[in-house]
């Protein structure tokens, strides 16, 4: 099992935006120093807490500073952006990162983003499919393209001048394009199966109950088989909120206490998703009414904390429950205490991951 990093940071309202951006950059730099394989960042335009507005721009700010770790958009919310803009920006980013880009995409989950971009009442899943098809066409076909979709009409036929390079969308460095990953937040996700069938790989979200994460294993396997590709769970990424400390007492206070950034993170997500009709993500029984949801019970099922040996045991138990994913994405949270936050990532890389891999090796 390899380590990665995934953050859709939820910072307390009122913190200096410059400070939180610097903090999030430092988390990426630390992840590389600790040997993490890859790191992803999310984006939202209309959320002052989840305040990275462009995952591509954020990753571009790390170009030249991150030397070996792969970086991923986590995710570009395709219905909100013209496909030609995405194609051009992601192609440039792939060059800036020397071909170490993973292209994470989704229909977008924040309803206020959908509203401000005018697609709140649209079929955003259909727009997502239309957009990714257009982007792949722009990367793999020759101008003038002539893409005639229900949402976007894309052509440079009237202005094409190939002798001077005008009217041509730039191609990524990786051929035919960067690896594509999709974030899965729904139980029994049809998107996971569809993505796997096309050669893309899933990230299971860290705010999904273990019971529902386990359904992604079956979806991924079905998708791989229908697409004629080998079933390799090494490509399945699972995000998880984890806090490791030198003692159990420190870990529990920081991760579970009343002022915990982990508690703040999940309280914000819980409120947002339940209010937006997505409370099913937190229910063991889909028939349960939203009013019966208990935040404390949900929170305790989603956050893992403890000393290194405890956390290793909990992650092994989680992996036994959900299936043999290949990459554990350590979820980023606000650095209420920067020293403890850095120590947690360090212990995760230096002590927890080796314990897990020794246990997996001895069991094989």
> Rounded CA gap, 173 and 94, in Å?
6
> Rounded CA gap, 88 and 138, in Å?
9
In this prediction, residue 229 carries a pLDDT of: 96
Q: Are 126 and 163 in contact, with CB atoms under 8 Å apart?
A: no
> Rounded CA gap, 65 and 45, in Å?
25
pTM of this structure: 0.97
Domains in the chain: boundaries: 2-74+179-243+305-363
Determine the longest span between alpha carbons in the chain, in angstroms: 67
In this prediction, residue 364 carries a pLDDT of: 81
DSSP H or E stretch at residue 251: helix 248-256
SS3 content of the chain, % helix, strand, coil (to 5): 50, 15, 35
DSSP H or E stretch at residue 4: strand 2-7
Q: What is the third-level CATH fold of 2-74+179-243+305-363?
A: TIM Barrel (3.20.20)
pLDDT digits (tens, 9 = 90+) for 130-173: 999 999 999 999 999 999 999 999 999 999 999 999 999 999 99
Residue with tokens 């299971």: 204
Paired with 180 in beta bridges are 103
pLDDT digits (tens, 9 = 90+) for 26-37: 999 999 999 999
Enumerate residue ranges in the chain where pLDDT < 50.
none
In this prediction, residue 224 carries a pLDDT of: 97
Tokens representing residue 350 in the block: 């230096």
């Amino acid at each position: 099992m390899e380590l990665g990093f995934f953050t859709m940071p939820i910072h307390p309202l009122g913190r200096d935006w410059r400070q939180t951006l610097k903090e999030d950059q430092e988390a990426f730099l630390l992840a590389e120093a600790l040997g993490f394989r890859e790191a992803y960042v999310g984006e939202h335009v209309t959320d002052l807490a989840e305040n990275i507005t462009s995952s591509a721009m954020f990753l571009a700010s790390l170009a030249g500073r991150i030397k070996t770790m792969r970086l991923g958009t986590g995710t570009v919310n395709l219905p909100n952006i013209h496909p030609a803009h995405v194609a051009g920006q992601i192609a440039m980013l792939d060059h800036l990162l020397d071909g170490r880009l993973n292209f994470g995409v989704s229909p977008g989950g924040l309803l206020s983003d959908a509203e401000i971009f005018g697609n709140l009442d649209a079929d955003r899943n259909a727009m997502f499919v239309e957009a990714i098809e257009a982007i792949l066409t722009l990367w793999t076909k020759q101008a003038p393209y002539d893409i005639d979709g229900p949402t976007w009409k894309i052509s440079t036929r009237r202005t094409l001048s190939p002798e001077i390079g005008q009217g041509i969308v730039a191609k990524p460095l990786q051929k035919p394009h960067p690896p594509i990953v999709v974030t899965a937040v729904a139980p029994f996700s049809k998107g996971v199966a569809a993505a796997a069938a096309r050669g893309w790989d899933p990230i299971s979200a860290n705010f999904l109950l273990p019971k529902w994460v386990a359904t992604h294993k079956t979806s991924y396997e079905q998708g791989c088989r229908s697409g004629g590709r080998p079933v390799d769970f090494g490509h399945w990424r699972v995000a998880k909120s984890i806090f490791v400390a030198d003692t159990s007492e420190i870990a529990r206070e920081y991760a579970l206490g009343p002022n915990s950034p982990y508690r703040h993170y999940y309280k914000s997500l819980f409120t947002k998703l339940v209010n937006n009709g997505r409370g099913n993500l937190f229910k063991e029984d889909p028939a349960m009414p939203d009013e019966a949801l208990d935040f404390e019970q949900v929170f305790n099922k989603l956050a893992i904390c403890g000393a290194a040996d405890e956390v290793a045991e909990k992650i092994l138990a989680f992996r036994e429950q959900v299936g043999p994913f290949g990459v554990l994405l350590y979820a980023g949270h606000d650095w209420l205490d920067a020293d403890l936050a850095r120590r947690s990532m360090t212990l995760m890389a230096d002590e927890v991951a080796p314990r897990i891999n020794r246990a997996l090796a001895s069991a094989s």
